[in-house]
Amino acid sequence: MDDQDNAAPSKRSKKACTECRQQKARCDAYLNPDRPCTRCVKMKAQCIISDPFRREHKRQRLSELEQETDELRKRLRSSQSVLSQSSPIAMLTAAAELGVHSTGNEVGLHLTPQSQSPPASYAETSVPSLSLGPPLPRVESTPRERASNPTVSRTLSGVEVTGEEIDEIFQLYTPNLR
């Protein structure tokens, strides 16, 4: 055995930069540590020598990203189908979820985050719940009275709700009261 064979394993100073390691390319960064290697200069890449660097396996990473993309698309489709089938009140709740948080407004409704853990859908946001004041006294009205006094449009936490939408929500809600 030569003296060079014994000396080579103990003296491993020829470290390649991360870009050259990733591409399994020859690197000359060890010749002048203060300057980038010729490959990084030519590729206009940042020349960094990092001991803990490990090559990233592109196929594995690509398959992980494809899997994540498919999962996100499924979640998006399911949330869109839920929204398309939902009632106007669900649409208002969805609008509130998109970032319209308020401590109060002209109708006396307050939005507060729910105490339970948020669902793993719809952009991973917490779902606000409406804290209502004491119940109002029940007022019976005839269809003729309702026609002469149309419901006025309201704004709830920056979301405008037309009188027709309010009437529709009311019609959905009242059968559950009896």
The Cα 150–Cα 164 span in angstroms is: 9
The Cα 95–Cα 40 span in angstroms is: 49
Q: Is the dihedral of CA 58, 64, 70, 72 positive or negative?
A: negative
Domains, the chain, ordered by start: 12-55 (4.10.240.10), 87-131+142-178 (no CATH)
Residue-wise pLDDT for 130-172, tens only, equals 555 555 555 555 655 555 667 888 887 888 888 888 888 888 8
- To the question of pTM greater than 0.75 for the whole model, the response is no
Say yes or no to pLDDT of 61 above 70: yes
Residues 42-61, mean pLDDT to the nearest whole number = 89
